[in-house]
Amino acid sequence: MSAPFLLVISGLQFGVDHLTPFAWGVIVVLGLLSTVSLAILLMKWFLLRHTEQANRRFMDLFHDSPHPLALYLTKDQTEMSPLYFVYHSAARDMAFHLVGDEEPGRNFSVRLQGAGRITPSQMSTVQNAMERAIGTASVKLESRLSFVATIISAAPLLGILGTVVGLLDVFAALGVRDKSTLAPGVSAALVTTIAALLVVLPSLIGYNVLVNRIRMIIVRMDNFASELSGIFERQFVDHRKVAESLPSLGTMGAPAMPVPSAVTTIAGRISPRA
């Protein structure tokens, strides 16, 4: 080992040997926070991994399906797939507008073949259902990450607290001219800062990685919602303009009469002759 590295290890060991009870308490709290943070990050990492695999499986099934509502009719659920959750919400609302029933029954496919098309206003409700599904899925994906963000924000403050308390002990020792406690006090104070950095750095890196993966999944949900909306627009929406009816005479109102000219003419007709 190099000499600078040995000096760092020696200084760290010296600081640990002279930790105060308050500093040990800060380090224990930091250790608990680090354990909880890493556990949440690992659980979320495995969850996102399974989510991405389920999304790929669902997209393969969706692109291979012969009809936009085929997966909904067969109830082919893809567990842990946010894309299927968005699809199911949109398909259920579309089925209600087409045949008046949300759940597919025995004669649902027959009724679907005889169904007509929906209006653009009804299609807007389907799009709203997809937006609500995206919002719900996003909240589930981001759950518990707020606790990790809190740990990332709180750990440096705890480390600084331990450092400040340790330095206060050093200054108190200097006040009574006890120079022998100067080096141990400073070393013990800096150990809490090092412990806080060891908690923050892994949590911060893992948090940023997971947030980026969650954002990519949300973008894929938005893109799929746009793709599904376009398919539904082409297959089920009637965009023909309805012929406008002529307004009634009562709603049109009476025509305005040129009052000044009419008064002049009548006055000329009834005026007495000279």
Q: What are the domain boundaries of the chain? A: 3-243
Distance CA 118, CA 153 (A): 51
- Looking at every residue in the chain, the average pLDDT score rounds to 78
3-state secondary structure labels for all residues of 107-136: CHHHHHHCCCCECHHHHHHHHHHHHHHHHH
**What's residue 98's pLDDT?**
83
Across 110-114, 145-149, 207-211, 255-259, least confident range: 255-259
Token reading at 187: 């070393």
Supply the DSSP symbol for 56.
H
Chain segment 51-78, per-residue pLDDT in tens: 999 999 999 999 998 888 888 888 777 7
State the average pLDDT over residues 228-256.
67
Distance CA 71, CA 50 (A): 20
Distance CA 7, CA 20 (A): 22
Percent of the chain with pLDDT over 90: 31
Chain segment 162-206, per-residue pLDDT in tens: 777 777 666 666 555 555 556 666 766 777 788 888 888 889 999
Token reading at 77: 């659920």
**What's residue 257's pLDDT?**
47
State the average pLDDT over residues 83-106.
84
Confidence of residue 18 (pLDDT cuts 50, 70, 90): low
State the average pLDDT over residues 215-239.
91
**Backbone dihedral region for residue 255 (phi beyond 0: left; psi -120 to 50: alpha; all else: beta):** beta
Q: What is the pTM of this model?
A: 0.73
Q: How many CB atoms lie within 10 A of CB 57?
A: 16
Q: Do the beta carbons of residue 94 and residue 110 sit within 8 Å?
A: no
Confidence of residue 252 (pLDDT cuts 50, 70, 90): very low
Range of 74-83, 115-124, 214-223, 229-238 with top mean pLDDT: 214-223
